[in-house]
Structure 1
Amino acid sequence: MTTTEHNPTAVGSGQNATASFARKERQAGPVDHERAGAIIGDALAALHEVVRRHQVTYAEYDALKGWLIDVGRTGEWPLFLDVFLEHVVEQVANADRKGAVGTIEGPYYIPGAPEFAAEADVPRRADEPGTPLLFEGTVTDLDGNPLDGALVELWHADDAGYYSQFAPGIPEWNLRAQIRTGEDGHYAFRTIQPAPYQIPTDGAVGAMVATAGWHPWRPAHLHLKVTAPGRAPVTTQLYFAGGEYVADDVAQAVKPELILHPTKSDSGEGNHVTYDFPLDPAE
């Protein structure tokens, strides 16, 4: 396996996330100038109100300009937006769902992970640190019927809080895999239980967090995308009951429906969790 050569600092991680976003397929269409004008106008009006309410000084205004420049210079716009804004966009976009609950994607998704049928030993180093985890469940429709041919994509940080393709020395596709379900809709991943991690703190976003007196930690979580023919896709994260920062995630992405309750595996090695994905019909 090849290893990534990228830097895990804010600049390195931010530039990698920006490059990943630039490669992302995005919907293109005609601009609705009336809607765009309304959104931009309301956003500016909200900022104007903040200036008036807090009597923002020129020194603070200049600090803001410098900070915005630094966010762009370090490539941290995906980090900033995904941590501090995406959770609200996701809530609005998925407000009418009846099935599986979504949350933010974050900046570290990479398409095209190794694909397996029904179950997977998630690619990882021979000496991968961390507690072994068996993570399994079923993809169904809203009536509980299993879905054949659903794709379950999994990615997560390692025990040190780093993602492959975004930190140096980690094998490509480490802790990334996808499963195509069979007629029973079942999937099973054998991986390791991730640890909590800090968002990058040595760049502009970290400076903002420190200035505000906030902590920069995300709770341990598994990232997932689940898709199936004729079904609405869901992107989500799953967290571990009792874990650090579950109650005060810096990204505000935790929802009660997304909490896992691990039990000891039957083999006696590591933990076992089960989580099902009932998918809504596609619109």
Structure 2
Amino acid sequence: MTVNVSHTAEIQHLFKEAAGFNNDQGNPRVKAIMLRLINDVATLIEDLEITDNEFWFAVDYLNRLGGRNEAGLLVPGLGLEHFLDVLQDAKDAQAGLSGGTPRTIEGPLYVAGAPIGEGEVRMDDGSELDHATVMFLEGVVRDSEGRAVAGAVVDVWHANTHGSYSYFDTRQTPYNLRRRIVTDAKGQYRARSIVPSGYGCSPDGPTQECLNMLGRHGQRPAHIHFFISAPGHRHLTTQINLSGEEYLWDDFAYATREGLVGDITFVEDPAVARERGVQGERFAELKFDFQLQKTPRVEAEQRSQRPRAMQDG
């Protein structure tokens, strides 16, 4: 038999005191959220008859999750980051906002302050050219009317051929495969890089531990992340997953959305490769255009205040 005591006057008094409702200090918004959270956890414990062993396993799990800096990985893995996108889509629809390139999750691996270039950049440091496939990435940033947006900042980052990201993978040079590109007068951005690999959650990490208990894999298809911003336009956080990938529509992080699949083409032509400065005969081309929404609110031009990594030096 389930015993319910969480809504008794005694326990509610305890929870309100614990959430700071018996003092005039602190943050009222945090207090309201904390009271709801405490009550929801207590209800969960009662409704599902959580045992002491299960409760303290969960506490230990949270400690280990934080110790491995994987909270930002588990959140998309549980569908919560995708939920935030769907929720914002619904709010936009309610407000009559539509159009533009779809948003999708940022993920936990952005690093602020990448080198910036005008129009065209090279992203890789050349360390993987003995086995990587050179990729030419380009596209146009347009406004809601289809006009080119000059001076937009295309902030782009992706993994290497092992599925790892610079900064978090200390073997890579700083800002390898991370750049900001200012679009030219025609709204174009161009980058030479390498074809990224997908990746999986660390098999010995707490995120995969949780996924194992859910009977799920922790794999992602190869993908490329973007922040795109321009004055007078709504900031766009998105990514494109590459066509032909095994996990394209089975992404553990739920990032693949209609309209966000990049059709990558592989070219095998020694003469064309030489013209483009590629050693060997094989390279890849990927074209992807973006459309921004206009916004009357200056604050909507900026990305969220989510904490992000910053490269030292």
TM-score bracket, shorter-length normalisation = 0.7 to 0.9
Aligned counterpart, 1:270: 283
User: Which of residues 37, 41, 56 is equivalent to 2:50?
Assistant: 56
Structure 1: unaligned runs, 5 residues or longer? 1-30
Match for 2:262: what amino acid?
L
Matches within 5 A, 1:177-216: 177-216=179-218
Shift of 1:203: 2.5
Q: Which amino acid aligns with 1:232?
A: R
What letter corresponds to residue 57 of structure 1 in structure 2? T
Q: Which structure would you say has the larger Rg? A: 2
Matching of residue 231 in structure 1 with residue 230 in structure 2 = no
The 8 Å contact of residues 240 and 262 in structure 2, kept in 1 or not, is answered as yes
RMSD (CA atoms) = 2.3
Report the CA distance between 1:102 and its aligned residue.
1.2
The TM-score normalised by the length of structure 1 is 0.80
Q: How does 1:28-47 map to 2 (within 5 A)?
A: 33=28, 37=32, 39-40=33-34, 43-44=37-38, 46-47=40-41
1:21 aligns with none
Tell whether the 8 Å contact from 2:76 to 2:254 is kept in structure 1 after alignment: no
Tell me the equivalent position of 1:145. Answer: 147
State the shift of 1:48 in Å: 4.8
AA matched with 2:251: D
The answer to whether the aligner puts 1:76 opposite 2:41 as a matched pair is: no
Distance 2:124 2:285 in 1: 18
The count of residues paired between Structure 1 and Structure 2 equals 252
1:90 aligned partner: 85
For residue 72 of structure 1, give the secondary structure of its aligned residue in structure 2.
helix
Q: 1:93 to 1:40 in 2, by over 3 A?
A: farther
Report the AA paired with residue 159 of structure 2: A
- Structure 2: runs of 5+ lacking an equivalent: 1-25, 93-97, 274-281, 298-313
Q: Could you say what secondary structure the match of 1:81 adopts?
A: helix
Equivalent residue number for residue 120 of structure 1: 121
- Quick one: structure 1 residues 35 and 171, their matched pair in 2 at CA, closer, same or farther if it must change by over 3 Å? closer
1:93-125 deviation line (CA, Å, top 9, x unaligned): 344242111111111111221211111221322
Aligned residue for 1:18? none
Matched with 1:99 is 100
Q: Deviations over 1:249-274 (max 9, x none)?
A: 11111112111112234836322121
The alpha carbon displacement at 1:247 in A equals 1.7
